[in-house]
Chains A and B, each alone.
Chain A
Amino acid sequence: MEDSYVYKRVGSVSFAVLSPKLIKKMAAAKVVTPELYDKEGYPVDGGLMDVRLGVIDPGLRCKTCGSRLKECIGHFGYISLARPVIHLSYVNVVLSLLRTTCRDCSRILLPDSKIQQLGGKGVKRSRIKDSIASSKTGNKCPHCKARQYKITVEKPTTFFENERRISPIEIRSRLEKIPDADAEAFGLNVGAVRPEWMVLTVFPIPPVTMRPSITLETGERSEDDLTHKLGDIVRINQRLFENINAGAPEIIVEDLWDLLQYHITTFFDNDVAQLPPARHRSGQPLKTISERIRSKEGRIRHNLVGKRTNFSARTVISPDPMLELNEVGVPEIMALKLTVPERVTEWNMEYLKNFVKNGPKKYPGANYVIRPDGKKKKLTEDIIEATLEEMQPGYVVERHLMDGDKAIFNRQPSLHRMSMMCHNIRVLPYKTLRLNPAVCFPYNADFDGDEMNLHIPQTEESRAEAEHLMLVQTQLISPRYGLSVIGCVQDAISGNYLLTREDFSMPRHAAVDMLSSIGVSELSRLPKRESVSGKEIFSALLPADFDFVGKSRSSAEPEVVIKGGKLVSGVMDKNNLGEGSGLMLRNIHKKYGEAFAVDFLGKLFRLGVSVLIRRGFTTTIADTDLPDEAHDSISKIFADAEVEVQELVSQFNANSLDTFPGRTARETLELKILELLTRARNDTGHVVAKFANRDSHTLIMANSGARGNLLNLAQIAGSVGQQALRGKRIEKGFKNRTLSYFKPNDLGSEAHGFIRSCFKSGLKPAEFFFQAMVGRDSLMDTALRTPKSGYLYRRLSNAMQDLRVEYDGTVRDASGRIIQFAYGEDGVDVSKSEGGTINVSRIISKVK
């Protein structure tokens, strides 16, 4: 079956070097002049734009093959070089061939017996080299006994033998003399590669089709970079010919020869380390052959691997918690441009005609109609009537995007598979793409100007695949750690935290109002009392038969118990609601399925937000106010610490400090001071935590895990603490001191970056300076690390892209070689596990 589609199959691929003969044979023209056009603007015969090299003008026919523009793929030309020139790409091969063959007789510098012993054919050049280096003959040829000299190369293309320059002519003649049998021993397939072909004597001129000239608006012609470069080569080659024929002094000839070598080298690669790049008159470097291929903007990554797509959209994103997690809000103007093709049948004809009636400008309308013969017609006001008349089954209408259509939503960098998920479309007013803030985490998105991409699948198959493999709920469990990657964030956490604390209650009618506003209609499980507690309201979301035991962050109510769908004890906080933490979300997903889980998460999120909307939630500076008592104890902590530091310093100065093993006294002092000050700062943290108002909103956020932590609070209210640069106290700056404000050799805490002040009271000038140092350092660090880790990721994903788990559980590469004998050494599919492990006891209890 499959064979019937295969017309030709690649049997093998072989690589060869172009021989001078082949270059001439494949050439359609010999180029003899660097001129391009004559006075009439017609291409010069034998010039670089010779008509035999292909067509780039519409309407003309190719002089060589007779085809038109775009049919003719172009034809090579050639020039004969006045003197041979080394090909840049083969410098290393030429060098190792010169080093391993005799300068006189060009045999391998090994006796025949030894060559046979190495295998005689296709030996690695490095092995021959090693073998020669270790042979006793030293620098004598074993065949003709000629003495050998050391050959070096001065990058990029100049060869020396014993400091004396060897010209490409001499190199070529040595390579020519290498016998076929010896060349084969080097692994060269002499049918395809003769060593001397690596030194060019004729030069192929690429067809004009790969270097088309463009006509500017002014009517002026602008030539391709390659044409410019070829012009240089042909011109210098011509001058070299003329000088040689005129018998010019050898120095002039050699200068021109070097220039020719330079132009040919930069023709292949204009980014050689040792050469100044050839430039335009404007100063920008020319883009020659290797620049066209290489790098991100090159042919491979830009044009071949980097495809562009239609039916896609991109704009700024903003949050909307009232959307479901698996929805995406699409602005109406986008919906007017993005379309979905729908086939007309006798059952949906009337429905589709409504779209056609609306036309391209009125939503929901249609932009194109495709007739059964494949003709695509753009709908405009004046053809709507006619189109409605002729429409019949078999037509396809490209109608505007509507609620419920599927789309693939993506944010770069797409680092894991949750970076592209399928969402249901909701067409909304305004101009941003909208998503539920709970799905920000897998996309790593925030709303400080982030943009995202949207792709609309165009076939039934692709829509079905996207829906079943990529819809948000299919991606809930992370394949990295086997827990929910989607959870509550920010307000949703603090809201649920407030709701489920002991002291929360509200009138039943208010609770009913709140629950219905977030889409809960099943209220029978809400107790029929005048006032209901927060835990009871939360329980209304839970399935009636859900049991769970877990831990919360709170030390007052550490145990979270859910029994029969009722939250019996414990507060809900980040440990159970957040992404990647706790098993509550994981268990709900396992027991009730992904569709329920995603709906539950949406309701949970909106519940948290609704609680805050009804209760009111903000944060103020006053949240960080501390009683005098607290300030006193903080002052005492630092006064004590300062005394201890001084004590350590004087011990150090008196040489009586007990040093740590393997450390100098100075290092010991640093470590001890650092430890002491860190401890002091932590102590202030405890004081702040003790005295701060438990019901202040800042503390509610910190305690629930929604945002911020006690350390932040301590820095605002207590002390900013020690600033560390590369794991040490700050030492940089002036001679023997950090700032001229301090005395030289001051080892005290203040002089080395300890910030006693807190952000609220403000920093002293020296403290401010230290903080700025550390701030700048970490900023630089992030800026430099991001591209580095991006490149590391690229290398890893390219190296591992075709590994897969086979049916026998092994991980193998594309050629069937085993990488792991069991995936992850335990064969567990993490996305089907609970936090990376299998819950064996539950399986057993189920089987029983």
Chain B
Amino acid sequence: MKKIDLTTHVLIPKHSKLGDKDKEEMLKRYNVSLKGLPKILVSDAGISHLSARPGDVIEIVRDSPTAGKAFFYRVVVDE
């Protein structure tokens, strides 16, 4: 079967892994711990190309008609 590259699909926004520094900065900016972030499964197809591990933070950038770009963060979880 042909393998589809999900990252190029129009309906899938850009997912990227935050580096340690960016992650700390982001948690501080929102005054939140990893527990307080929305979650994403390690097995999520949208981040399969990032080789993310539980505890990593994924940044999702969506196009928004009113905000231009909308940023969203999810913490990678196991189950």
CB distance from A119 to the nearest CB of B (A): 15
Contact with A along B37-67 (1 / 0, CB 8 A): 1100000000000000000000000101011
Q: Are A818 and B66 in contact (CB under 8 A)?
A: no
CB neighbours (8 Å) of A828 from chain B are: 66-67
Most buried by B among A816, A836, A837: A816
Contact among A808, A815, A817, A825 with B64 in the assembled complex (CB-CB below 8 Å)? A825
CB neighbours (8 Å) of A691 from chain B are: none
Q: Are A826 and B64 in contact (CB under 8 A)?
A: yes
Contact among A808, A815, A822, A826 with B31 in the assembled complex (CB-CB below 8 Å)? A808
**Docked complex Cα distance between A822 and B69 (Å):** 11
Contact with B along A790-824 (1 / 0, CB 8 A): 00000000000000000010101001111111101
Q: Are B72 and A821 in contact (CB under 8 A)?
A: yes
Instruction: Indicate whether B36 reaches chain A with its CB closer than 8 angstroms.
Output: yes
**Docked complex Cα distance between A663 and B32 (Å):** 54
CB neighbours (8 Å) of B38 from chain A are: 817-819
Q: Evaluate whether A826 and B37 lie within 8 angstroms (CB atoms) in the complex, with A808-B30, A810-B30 already known.
A: no
Q: Evaluate whether A825 and B35 lie within 8 angstroms (CB atoms) in the complex, with A810-B30, A818-B30 already known.
A: no
Contact with B along A829-841 (1 / 0, CB 8 A): 0000000110000
CB neighbours (8 Å) of A820 from chain B are: 72
Q: Are A822 and B67 in contact (CB under 8 A)?
A: yes
Contact among A818, A825, A827, A836 with B36 in the assembled complex (CB-CB below 8 Å)? A818
CB neighbours (8 Å) of B35 from chain A are: 817
CB distance from A820 to the nearest CB of B (A): 8
CB distance from B2 to the nearest CB of A (A): 21
CB neighbours (8 Å) of B64 from chain A are: 825-826
**Docked complex Cα distance between A305 and B9 (Å):** 48
Q: Are B66 and A821 in contact (CB under 8 A)?
A: no
Q: Evaluate whether A822 and B66 lie within 8 angstroms (CB atoms) in the complex, with A808-B30, A816-B36, A817-B36 already known.
A: no
Contact among B32, B37, B62, B73 with A825 in the assembled complex (CB-CB below 8 Å)? B62
Contact among B31, B66, B71 with A836 in the assembled complex (CB-CB below 8 Å)? B66
CB neighbours (8 Å) of A822 from chain B are: 67, 70
Q: Are A826 and B67 in contact (CB under 8 A)?
A: yes
Q: Are A825 and B67 in contact (CB under 8 A)?
A: yes
**Docked complex Cα distance between A337 and B48 (Å):** 69
CB distance from A825 to the nearest CB of B (A): 4
CB closest chain-A residue, reference B70: A825
Q: Are A821 and B36 in contact (CB under 8 A)?
A: no
Q: Evaluate whether A816 and B32 lie within 8 angstroms (CB atoms) in the complex, with A821-B71, A821-B72, A821-B73 already known.
A: yes
CB neighbours (8 Å) of B32 from chain A are: 816, 818
CB closest chain-B residue, reference A838: B66
CB distance from B62 to the nearest CB of A (A): 7
Contact among A815, A818, A827 with B37 in the assembled complex (CB-CB below 8 Å)? A818
**Docked complex Cα distance between A679 and B66 (Å):** 37
CB distance from A129 to the nearest CB of B (A): 16
Query: Could you tell me which residues of chain A, from 570 to 620, have a CB within 8 Å of some CB in chain B?
Result: none
Most buried by B among A817, A819, A820: A817
Most buried by B among A818, A822, A826, A827: A818
**Docked complex Cα distance between A812 and B31 (Å):** 12
CB closest chain-A residue, reference B29: A808
CB distance from A7 to the nearest CB of B (A): 32
Q: Are B66 and A826 in contact (CB under 8 A)?
A: yes
**Docked complex Cα distance between A821 and B36 (Å):** 11
CB neighbours (8 Å) of B37 from chain A are: 817-818
CB closest chain-A residue, reference B39: A817
CB distance from A292 to the nearest CB of B (A): 38
CB neighbours (8 Å) of B62 from chain A are: 825
CB neighbours (8 Å) of A836 from chain B are: 66
CB distance from A208 to the nearest CB of B (A): 48
CB distance from A502 to the nearest CB of B (A): 38
Q: Are A826 and B70 in contact (CB under 8 A)?
A: yes
Q: Are B73 and A827 in contact (CB under 8 A)?
A: no
CB distance from B75 to the nearest CB of A (A): 10
Query: Could you tell me which residues of chain B, from 1 to 52, have a CB within 8 Å of some CB in chain A?
Result: 30-32, 35-38
CB neighbours (8 Å) of B71 from chain A are: 821
Q: Evaluate whether A827 and B30 lie within 8 angstroms (CB atoms) in the complex, with A819-B38, A821-B72 already known.
A: no
Query: Could you tell me which residues of chain A, from 81 to 108, have a CB within 8 Å of some CB in chain B?
Result: none
CB closest chain-B residue, reference A827: B67
CB neighbours (8 Å) of B67 from chain A are: 822, 825-828
Q: Are B66 and A837 in contact (CB under 8 A)?
A: yes
CB distance from B49 to the nearest CB of A (A): 23
**Docked complex Cα distance between A655 and B40 (Å):** 54
**Docked complex Cα distance between A529 and B67 (Å):** 52
CB closest chain-A residue, reference B32: A818
CB distance from A316 to the nearest CB of B (A): 43
**Docked complex Cα distance between A658 and B27 (Å):** 61
CB neighbours (8 Å) of B72 from chain A are: 820-821, 825
CB neighbours (8 Å) of A826 from chain B are: 64, 66-67, 70
**Docked complex Cα distance between A825 and B67 (Å):** 7
CB distance from B25 to the nearest CB of A (A): 14
Contact with B along A360-373 (1 / 0, CB 8 A): 00000000000000
CB closest chain-B residue, reference A824: B66
CB closest chain-B residue, reference A833: B66
CB distance from A397 to the nearest CB of B (A): 52
CB neighbours (8 Å) of B66 from chain A are: 824-826, 828, 836-837
- Nearest 10 CB-CB pairs, A to B? A826-B67, A825-B70, A826-B66, A817-B36, A825-B64, A816-B36, A818-B36, A825-B67, A837-B66, A818-B32
Task: Give residues in B with beta carbon < 8 Å to A.
Answer: 30-32, 35-38, 62, 64, 66-67, 70-73
In addition to A820-B72, A821-B73, 12 A-B residue pairs with Cβ atoms within 8 Å of each other are A808-B30, A815-B36, A817-B38, A818-B30, A818-B32, A819-B38, A825-B67, A825-B70, A825-B72, A826-B67, A826-B70, A836-B66
Chosen A-B contacts, 9 in total, with CB atoms closer than 8 Å, are A810-B30, A816-B32, A817-B38, A818-B32, A818-B38, A821-B73, A824-B66, A826-B67, A827-B67
